[in-house]
Amino acid sequence: MSFLSRVLPDRTPWRTLPDFRRLWVQGVVTSLGSFMAVVALPLQIKELTGSPFAVGAMGLVELVPLVVCGLYGGALADVAD
- pLDDT band with cut points at 50, 70 and 90 for residue 40: very high
Q: Is residue 3 part of a domain?
A: no
Average pLDDT on 1-26 reads: 84
Asked if residue 31 belongs to a domain, the reply is yes
* Per-residue pLDDT at 61: 94
* Structure confidence at residue 1 (pLDDT): 63
Tell whether 62 is covered by a domain: yes
CB 42, CB 58: distance < 8 Å: yes
Asked, for residue 2, whether it belongs to a domain, the answer is no
Is 23 within the bounds of a domain? Answer: yes
Total domain count, the chain: 1
Q: In terms of residue numbers, what domain contains 16?
A: 9-80
Please classify residue 55 by burial: count the beta carbons closer than 10 Å to its beta carbon, then call 0-12 exposed, 13-18 middle and 19+ buried.
middle
Q: Is the pTM for the entire model greater than 0.85?
A: no
